[in-house]
Amino acid sequence: MTSKVNLNEIQKYVHTDYGDLTGVIQIDGHSSISSIYDLCKEHKLDTSDLFIIGFSLWEDTINGIGKNDQVNCSILYVDKDEYGRDFDSVQKKIKVEETLRLKTKNIVIKYSSLGKHIKRFNLLVTSELTKHAKKIEIEDLKLKNKNETITTLSTALP
């Protein structure tokens, strides 16, 4: 399976105090990445000069998440003046330079408002024991891009 993103680079920026469980998440917005622009607009964050690449959500508390009904959100972006104003221009610059220098703008959002911007998500995390396996089989889990449940999902690891 080839990834649509560079997981090796992204995972460097994902951490908790202990990292008990690690994995992968996919999210569908109500209108793709435009949902993140809508989120910014709702929080009065001017995006006219920003080309949004992604976002990060995190909560860091010892009391348990969700108690304050808010989550920290970092908008990951590049400046349009530096990278370009459309997808093709940004992609071309990234390919030429081979390094993507993302900037962040931070906002705090209510958990209860996430549904306005996120239509679907799928999160899978495991303990460190999976690093010892060359192959993982998961019973009764839906396959990517399939509506039916299968008996076993086999994934070859790199």
Report all structural domains of the chain as residue ranges with CATH numbers, in order of start.
26-124 (3.10.450), 127-158 (no CATH)
Contact 143, 151 (CB under 8 A): no
Distances in Å between the Cα of 137 and the Cα atoms of 42, 49, 132, 133, 154 are: 42, 45, 13, 10, 4
Buried b / exposed e along 14-40 (16+ C-beta atoms within 10 A): eeeeeeeeeeeeebebeeeeebbbbbb
Spatial separation of the C-alpha atoms in residues 127 and 22, rounded to whole Å: 7
Contact 121, 28 (CB under 8 A): yes
Closest CA to 35 of 54, 56, 16: 54
18's CB contacts (< 8 A; 6+ apart) are none
Q: From start to end of the chain, where are the E strands? A: 22-33, 50-58, 70-79, 103-110, 118-126, 135-139, 152-156
Spatial separation of the C-alpha atoms in residues 133 and 123, rounded to whole Å: 20
User: Mean pLDDT of residues grouped by 10 in the chain (158 residues)?
Assistant: 76 86 88 91 96 92 83 95 96 94 95 90 90 85 55 40
Contact 111, 69 (CB under 8 A): yes
pLDDT in the model for residue 146: 52
pTM above 0.95, yes or no: no
pLDDT in the model for residue 144: 61
